[in-house]
Amino acid sequence: MTMPVTLHDAHRADGAVLANDGIPQHYADPRADMLAAMQSAVIMDRSHEGRLQLTGRDRLALPDRISTNAIEKLAPGSAAPTLFLTPNARIIDRVTIGALDESALMLTEPGRATAVETYLKRNTFYNDDMGVVDISAASRQFVLFGSNVAAIMAEFGIGTAPLTLIETAIDGVRCIILHDKPFAGDPGQDMWRVIVPSAAPDYSEAARVWRALSAAGAAHALRPTGSQTYFALRVRAGRPGVNAELSGEYIPLEIGLWDEISFTKGCYTGQEIIARMESRRKLARTIIQVAILDGAIPVTPTALSLDGREVGRLTSAVEEPFGARGGIAVVRLAAAQVDTLLTFDGGRARIISRAGVQPDTIEE
């Protein structure tokens, strides 16, 4: 049997239905894919997420100066999430920065590489020593998720703590591997990113890595899956997503990203508003997870009401392959009580929990 050569061939050989950008949308059995994600492991092509290479003396100092987290002193092999904000603390993008020996790797949300590159260049001045290159088209990125992923990575002799990265080879192909923070807020659900720089226009090197990871994962019940499963996992986890919760509509504290902000570092863009809200422990809105009880899954964003009064918006919603229906919403703090029933046009939703990382004490 002839093995697939290109990355798209590899995906199709696994039964993928590809989007126009070549990213798998789904496979033949969405129920089995979701079950594997929750009980064993899945591998996903997330190459539409952006990748920027930073070089120069200020490759960490400059992003530190204009983003929320303390990243200037990241040691080689370590990584951290951080947020770029507008002056009024609205979100431009959430990124993860990993420090290498002679450069840094910045991972953006899907479709946001160009915007982040432009933002970095606009904030680079004559005395700054930092270069930024978008390497998204010259690389591929795979995500492995699930409770069995650590065992799969161990097949390659790889074992690192969360938020660390290494450069290594898989099947003779150079890769950068990031052990990311838990996707679902559960340390048992591991998340690793494998970035494959690829000179070949057909990404044949990436296809070799995909096949090697898939082969190593066969003994650990690994399944390939696509964007539809990723979206369901994101909503199930209450993780903010681009153009939904990660948008110019919201402040990071409102969407449960308290752990991606340093409250002790120096000034950064948007810091004054963040610091004032943190010191007063007062928020107008907060992020929640809901179960959708009835009605069709709405197109988001859609208004949510309590006792006939609008209190927020449902920002992400999904029906999982097993029939569970849920969503992420941002609502007024006073309405964010567990078991509260909210209404939207044609249906109802029940609050099941707050989402993200939030402080113990917060007031409206």
Q: Report pLDDT digits (tens) over 196-216.
A: 997 677 889 999 999 999 999
Kindly report the CATH number assigned to the domain that includes residue 252. Answer: 2.40.30.160
Asked if 287 and 328 touch (Cβ cutoff 8 Å), the reply is: yes
Q: Is residue 1 part of a domain?
A: no
**Is residue 2 predicted with pLDDT exceeding 60?**
no
- Which pLDDT band, with edges at 50, 70 and 90, does 364 fall under? low
- The mean pLDDT of 61-84, rounded to a whole number, is 97
What number is the average pLDDT over the span 176-199? Answer: 85
CA 35 to chain centre: 20
Answer whether residue 69 is part of any domain: yes
- Per-residue CA distances from 71 to 5, 12, 110, 274 (Å): 39, 40, 22, 18
Residue 166 has pLDDT above 90, yes or no: yes
Residues 171 and 70 in one domain: no
Q: Are residues 342 and 272 in the same domain?
A: yes
Buried b (16+ CB within 10 A) or exposed e, 316-330: bbbebbeeebbbbbb
Q: What is the average pLDDT across 290-303?
A: 96
* Among 134, 159, 182, residue at a domain's last position: 134
Mean pLDDT of 293-297: 95
Kindly tell me if the per-residue pLDDT of 4 is higher than 70: no
User: Same domain, yes or no, for 22 and 98?
Assistant: no
User: Based on the domain organization, do 337 and 278 belong to the same domain?
Assistant: yes
Task: Output the CA–CA distances (angstroms, integers) from residue 49 to 56, 93, 97, 111, in the order listed.
Answer: 23, 12, 13, 6
CB of 135 closer than 8 Å to CB of 206: no
Look up tokens 């610091």; give the residue. Answer: 275
Residue-level pLDDT at 189: 84
Q: What is the pLDDT of residues 298-339, one digit of tens each?
A: 999 999 999 999 999 999 999 999 999 999 999 999 999 999
Whether residue 22 is contained in a domain is answered as yes
Q: Dump strand ranges (E) for 147-259.
A: 164-170, 173-179, 190-197, 222-224
On average, the pLDDT of the chain sits at: 93
What is the three-class DSSP state of 243?
coil
280: Cβ contacts below 8 Å, ≥ 6 apart: none
pLDDT at 357: 86
Residues 145, 169, single domain; the answer is: yes
Residues 252 and 329 in one domain: yes
Number of domains in the chain: 3
Please write the tens of the pLDDT for every residue from 120-139.
Answer: 999 999 999 999 999 999 99
Predicted confidence at residue 1, as pLDDT, reads 41
Give the structural domain span for 350. 237-354
Q: Which helix (H) or strand (E) holds 310?
A: strand 309-319
Amino acid 362: pLDDT: 63
Asked if residue 94 lies in contact with residue 106, where contact means CB atoms within 8 angstroms, the answer is no
Amino acid at 337: Q
In a domain, 263, yes or no: yes
User: Once rounded to an integer, what is the mean pLDDT over residues 241-252?
Assistant: 95
- State pLDDT tens for residues 100-126: 999 999 999 999 999 999 999 999 999
Same domain flag for 111 and 211: no
Distances (CA, A) of 14 to 33, 169, 231, 316: 12, 23, 20, 29
Q: pTM (2 decimals)?
A: 0.95
Same domain, 38 and 85: no
Supply the pLDDT for residue 185.
Answer: 60
126 with 216, same domain: the answer is no
